[in-house]
Amino acid sequence: MIWFALFRCVGAFITAANNPVDASILCHCRGSSFLHPSRNHHASRPSSSLFATATTTRGGGGDDNNASAETSNNQKLESLVDKAQHHLREKDADQAFATLAQAYGIDPTSTTIAALFESCLGLKVELAEESFYKWKDTAGNALSEAELTNLFQDRIGLSSLFIDKEEYDEAGIQLRKAIEEANYWLSYSLQLSDNTSSTSSTTTTTTAAQLDLTNTQFAHWQPSINRAQYLLYRTNAACCQWDTYFQDGHQLSQSLSHNLSPSGHVQRILHPFDALKFPCISLELASKIAQSYAARALESHGLVDVEAAKNEQYQRRPTVTVNRKELPKQEQKIRIGYISPDFTSRHPLAFLMQHVFRYHDKSQFSVHIYSLSSKVDDGPEVQAIQESCDQFTYLSPSAMSPMELYQQMVQDELDIIVDLCGYAGTSIMAEIMASRCLLQQMNDKNSSAGGNEADGSTRLLPIHVSYMGFPGSVGSSRIWDYSIFDQVVIPPNNDEYGIREHYNEALVYMPHCYFVNSHKTVLGKEGDGIILANEEERIQLRSKYGIHPTAFVYCCHSRPDKIDPSTFRTWIRALSTARSEYFARHSDERDLASSGSGAPILWLLRSGKEMEQNLRQLVRKEFGERMEDALLFADVSERNEHLRRLGCADVFLDTPAYNAHTLGCDALYLGLPMISLLRSSTRASENQANSICDDQSTIATDKLASRVGASLLRAAEVDDLVYPNMSDYEDAMVKCAINTKWFESIHKRLRLSVPVSPLFDTERWVRNLEASFVQMKSMNCDQTNAFPDIIVTDP
């Protein structure tokens, strides 16, 4: 994950913006318990030689040239690293940073560069900190706003590096200092301007809550400070530091709601993906955040239409129903382009979709894959994708502008472009897809000037579809025509929940779960060792992880920042009840250590030492020291180990605020029952937006990412494990551990359903997707009307 943080630092250096943190767009790594290094793509990366790399197209040859270029790059990289180290020894932080920025452009994944960036930022902070505290303590020479900006920006960058190393205490220190120093200087400067204080700065404030910059000459700092506060909130969530979780979340929600930009958009102080993750952000607010990022993508092309952006609201759409078994044969193949930066063996997308494209009917569809990557990936997942498509092309966002990237795809005369990323980690995808709006504008002008379709100048541009990467509304029907979901994650127009109205784009409703996977054709092959062969093998593996052979294991290997304090307390209450029931029958084991007792345990994914310490402290304080023995932690692992060790667990606990997606498929395919929450109404969401109380009713499930677990369970034909409230969720946890007969019936039903359920029938899923594509293509000839929602049926 560390190169995300590096890009934030490099981006800040390149832009040198007045807004200290606007350049440091917060990136994302969706993940579970296996290690998949973060994707190499970035927000608003400038098209400059600093990041230039070669573009490679499958089947294009040029191996010798590529090898020669790689050798040259390695030599240049080595030289730049030597120069950066020299500048650091000379304490010339600015030159070191500039040199490292060039080295980063050659190899964004280098751990050596990452370590040097940390040293460089540490030096920059150290030098700037000396100036700040000299000014503060002695009222010496004035500290300029530019100097404060640099210190603030460098602390944000350094904190990002600490976060990605899971050193959350160090990250928190940097973020708190950034906020305190900025507020101190701003408060002091405001007092001077109002002539309300002397030159002494002893009465200035250091807390953001006390400082209102509205209608002052420093109002431009408010989004930056709000963003730093958000990063601190996110850091605390990542290590389960929950002392002020709901209060801070409430403050974040209020600052977003009350600080609208002149265009009416939510200010971009957090990433759209984060808006989906945390319960303090309502569905309405999350949708507005997506809309603001869509507006930025349009603005990047000079398409600034404030009124159109303000008025782009939900419109009730007609629906069209299609049946995959009644598809007409196409006279010409439909040309489909799939684009993503995540066609890499390190990312879940490639793992999930590696065998999806092979099932396209090649007599009816031509499949083109576009990988936004600066490096060729020869992993087995990528190889499987390459072998199953008609064309696989590497496009480098570092060497081409978003418009050039889009035009490259348009030259292939695509009918439909499927964006498999959205806002999942990068905004450049939005900018690429927004290029169509500018091209359409140019086509309209050309048509008015007498252009004709024969020369290609007025050819219909591709339909845009958002799928898989971003589990929420993309926020603009101008950029994306469709998003693909299902009727569980987004109930249709007439739903009582009011969820559909927060999606501006038209929707495709898949008949089963929208979330595709390749598990059936990838996992469980002879010799991979992922599916445990027998009970003896399971006992041996349990021993490796310190689990008693007969203990009932509640498991959640989702990222810790998906866990909220209310849900965790629910888990511990249920665990306590289950353990009490166990010890009532096995009183002789009460005094045994956890590994020596068969009592139920809770198995979580570790994320830094602070996370485990914080959870153990909470359990000791609220539930007693004996309950602390019921906690077990697993380290992040590579994919196969992650999958294999799931066989040690008995039930998987879904996180209500942000459900397990890939990990949910993993658990269910391996026969591990999953308990999930799907509330029966959205009253919780309405209450949640205004609540700062630690109460289970604050966790709403109206955001799409909170409804995926229910969709997975329905498609796996075990939807009786979906519960409408946390009280029933808690009771189900207890029942799993103490009602052996009932739990075995659930377990058996899941094992029998896996081979035949729609969830793991990838070919069937592709046929249903093709039905929606045929319908889209038939409608694209008439672009005068808004696209309807498409409901795909599968009788």
Can you tell me the distance from the alpha carbon of 88 to that of 91, in angstroms, rounded to the nearest whole number?
Answer: 5
CB atoms within 10 A of CB 328: 8
Question: How long, in residues, is the chain?
Answer: 795
Output the CA torsion sign for 277, 283, 289, 294. Answer: positive
Strand partners, 11: none
Show the DSSP H helices in 244-326 as ranges: 245-258, 272-277, 283-299, 306-311
Query: Is the separation of the CB atoms in 460 and 334 below 8 Å?
Result: no
pLDDT at 656: 96
Show the DSSP H helices in 586-691 as ranges: 608-623, 625-628, 639-645, 662-669, 683-688
pLDDT at 48: 30
Query: Is the separation of the CB atoms in 554 and 730 below 8 Å?
Result: no
Query: Is the separation of the CB atoms in 303 and 773 below 8 Å?
Result: no
**If phi over 0 gives left and psi between -120 and 50 gives alpha, with beta otherwise, what is residue 302?**
left
Q: Are residues 352 and 484 in the same domain?
A: yes
| Structure confidence by residue, pLDDT tens digits, 499-539 | 999 999 999 999 999 999 999 999 977 678 898 889 999 99
Collapsing DSSP to helix, strand or coil, 500 comes out as: helix
Domain-embedded: residue 267? no
pLDDT at 265: 66
Q: Are residues 652 and 565 in the same domain?
A: yes
Range of the domain at 595: 529-669+672-753
Percent of the chain with pLDDT over 90: 59
Can you tell me the distance from the alpha carbon of 696 to that of 566, in angstroms, rounded to the nearest whole number?
Answer: 5
Q: Are residues 695 and 611 in the same domain?
A: yes
Q: Are residues 514 and 630 in the same domain?
A: no
| Structure confidence by residue, pLDDT tens digits, 547-570 | 999 999 999 999 999 999 999 999
Q: With CA atoms as reference, report the closest residue to 484 among 792, 203, 85, 81.
A: 792
Domain-embedded: residue 648? yes
Q: Does residue 742 carry a pLDDT above 60?
A: yes
- What CATH number is associated with residue 716? 3.40.50.2000
CB atoms within 10 A of CB 329: 8
Q: Does residue 331 carry a pLDDT above 90?
A: no
Query: pTM for this one?
Result: 0.86
Percent of the chain with pLDDT over 70: 80
What is the helix (H) or strand (E) element at residue 117, kind and residue range? helix 111-138
What is the helix (H) or strand (E) element at residue 157, kind and residue range? helix 145-164
Q: Are residues 346 and 410 in the same domain?
A: yes
Q: Which of these ranges, 54-58, 293-297, 430-434, has the smallest mean pLDDT?
A: 54-58
Q: Does residue 16 carry a pLDDT above 90?
A: no
- Give the model's confidence band at 137: pLDDT under 50 very low, under 70 low, under 90 confident, else very high: confident
Q: Are residues 447 and 560 in the same domain?
A: no
Average pLDDT over the chain, rounded to an integer: 83
Q: Which of 228, 259, 287 is the last residue of a domain?
A: 228
DSSP class of residue 529 equals: -
Domain-embedded: residue 771? no
Domain-embedded: residue 109? yes
Can you tell me the distance from the alpha carbon of 658 to that of 277, in angstroms, rounded to the nearest whole number?
Answer: 5
Range with top average pLDDT, 181-190, 423-432, 697-706:
181-190
Domain-embedded: residue 261? no
Can you tell me the distance from the alpha carbon of 346 to that of 166, in angstroms, rounded to the nearest whole number?
Answer: 19
pLDDT at 683: 44
pLDDT at 661: 97
Can you tell me the distance from the alpha carbon of 534 to that of 523, in angstroms, rounded to the nearest whole number?
Answer: 17
Q: With CA atoms as reference, report the closest residue to 726 among 566, 572, 558.
A: 566
Can you tell me the distance from the alpha carbon of 213 to that of 735, in angstroms, rounded to the nearest whole number?
Answer: 53
Q: Does residue 697 carry a pLDDT above 70?
A: no
Q: Is pLDDT larger for residue 578 or for residue 76?
A: 578
Q: Are residues 189 and 91 in the same domain?
A: yes
Residue type, 764: R
Output the CA torsion sign for 456, 457, 463, 465. Answer: positive
Domain-embedded: residue 252? no
pLDDT at 450: 63
Domain-embedded: residue 314? no
Domain-embedded: residue 270? no
| Structure confidence by residue, pLDDT tens digits, 176-226 | 999 999 999 998 888 887 754 444 444 555 554 556 777 788 888 988 898
Please state the domain count of the chain: 3
Q: Are residues 510 and 534 in the same domain?
A: no
Q: Are residues 115 and 156 in the same domain?
A: yes
Strands (E), 487-599: 506-510, 553-556
